[in-house]
Every structure is written in C-alpha cells, then in structure tokens.
A and B are shown apart, each in its own frame.
Chain A
Amino acid sequence: MAEIDRIIHAPARLRIMATLIALSPGTEIDFRTLGTALELTDGNLGAHLQTLEEAGYIKLAKSFVDRKPRTHLSATTKGRARFEEHVAALRAICGV
C-alpha cells in the first residue's frame, strides 16, 4: 500500500515537487523562476531544495549563462516515483 512521504508532505516541498512533476522527465526549471512561481525566498527555497536533493528526489545542475551562475533543477526518477506514491496515499486517505 502507498504511504505518505514525510519529506514531500511539507507544504513548500509538496509545491516544489508538484511543479517539477508537471514538467516532462528531464526538463529543468530555473531556481529563480521556481522561487518566483511558488513565492518562496531564495533562502527558504534553497533549504527545501537541499532536503529534497539529499533525499535523492531532485537533481541540481549549475551552469553559466552570460557569465552569470544559474541553477536548474529537475525531479529524479526516484523523486517521481515517491511523488506518485505520495499522491496515491493521499487518494487512498480521501477514498478516491
């Protein structure tokens, strides 16, 4: 039976993962865009991303665009699987 994932369940991380899951596999989103979309400060977003990265749910890729550092992130296969499991658990609780 699917179980609630404590890491994903935190509201901000749930929103981060939902955003990344909405993108097709391998698609990366810019750090700043994600923060703006979810109305999270850089510090707050960074802390949540670190938790998700340490859990292996997301992957960070750093690059330079016009000599400025940019961070892109995407959901890993493991992250996608855990998210699906989390959603299945939520549905089971709701009886959907």
Chain B
Amino acid sequence: MEAPKSPSISPEEARASLAEIDRIILHTRRTIGHGAPSAIIILWGFIWVVGFASQQFFPPFSGRIWLFLDLVGVPGSFLLGAWRRNAPVKRPHSGKVGLSWLILFAFAVIWMLALGPWDLLRRPELAFYGSVMNRKFAVFWATVPMFAYILMGLWLDRFFIYLGTLVTLATVGGYLFIHHYFFLWMALVGGGSLIGGGIFIKKFWR
C-alpha cells in the first residue's frame, strides 16, 4: 500500500514531533541498556574491586586470583547476555556484540603476551609489590575495555562515553600520581565507578 503524503503541519507541531521522537529513541535505547549491559558492568566492577585489591594486599597470589576472576567474568558476561535472549527485545547481532568483546579480550591478551617483558619480571628485584610493570599492565587492562565503552557510547548512549572517559582518566591519574596505593585506587575508584555506573543504569534507565 502506498502512503498518502503531505499533511500540512505548523513549525510548533513539527518541533514537538521531533522532541517526542528524540525522547522515545533515547528511552528505548536506555531500556535496552538497562538489561544485560548494566549487569555485566556491575559484575566487572566487583571483579575489579577484588582483583585490584588482591594486587594491593596479596601480590603473590594476585596472578592466580585475576586468572580465576577472568574465568568467572568472561563466561559470566556471556551468560548474562544469553539470559537476555528471552528478553522482550531480540537482537540478531547480540552474538556479534559478545564476539566483539571476546575478540578485543583476545587481542589484549595476545599483545600483552607478545610485548610483556616477562624475562625481566622473573627477576626478584622487579617482582615486588607495586612494580612499575604491574602498574603498566593494570593501566593497559583497565583502559582497553574503557575505550570499547567509549566507542559503544557513540551508538548506544553518551553515558558510556562519560563512564569510559571517567574510568580512563582515573586510571591514568592513579598511575601517574598514586604509586604505592595505585591498585587500591583502582579497586575503589575504578571498580567503584563501574559498579556505580551499572547501578545508575539499572535505577534510572527504565
């Protein structure tokens, strides 16, 4: 059926329609973000709190703790995404979103393994608490997903740009200025921002 066209409308009416369209588009996108993304952000917030706190307080065990946390976090994120498949919104590309995150994660792992000065880190004098190398790796691992959030914010909601930028700045600031308590800073400010951001989405994006 071909649509009849061109009713005449006033500029005020047109402006009101545009405002309504903007409101509904924002509301719809936020309703989507309210589900799995917020739960995944909160999950990783807690992972950061535990992981970075372990680096601050139990450095000898932190490697194994981080490995355990990643083994919980990565499949946990996929499970949270899959759980939303029964949700009212069915996305044909939801698998691709998860795959994109997995590729990004693999990309970061490969570069870290390829570029990390592992031989240097085996030396006892460099393997101490709060070493520069460990902090550099922490900055790398914290900023890579935050960069992905910023990109996500370009098409989903600006909130992700703000969250990604905030955590990135906090990470870089902590790296530059808070040497001895950097991991504690990351646990509280980095992990806390993720948890806070996730709770914010859950509470206000309805």
Contacts and interface: CB of A to CB of B under 8 A. Distances in A.
Given A4-B9, A90-B18, A22 B89 contact: no
A23 B89 contact: yes
Contacts of A19: 24-25, 28
A14 B21 CA distance: 7
Interface residues of A, number: 38
A87 B24 CA distance: 14
B4 interface: yes
A86 B28 CA distance: 19
A5 B18 contact: no
B71 interface: no
Contacts of A14: 17, 20-21
B89 A7 contact: no
A90 B6 contact: no
Contacts of B89: 23, 27-30, 33
Contacts of A54: 1
Contact of B27 (A3, A29, A37, A96): A37
A33 B88 contact: yes
Contacts of A95: 11
Contacts of B14: 89-91, 93-94
Nearest to A56: B1
Nearest to B90: A28
Nearest to B21: A18
Contacts of B17: 9, 14, 90
A30 B88 contact: yes
B88 A3 contact: no
Interface of B: 1, 3-11, 14-15, 17-18, 20-21, 24-29, 31-32, 86, 88-93
15 contacts: A4-B8, A5-B3, A6-B3, A7-B4, A15-B20, A18-B24, A22-B25, A22-B28, A23-B89, A24-B91, A30-B88, A32-B88, A94-B11, A94-B14, A95-B11
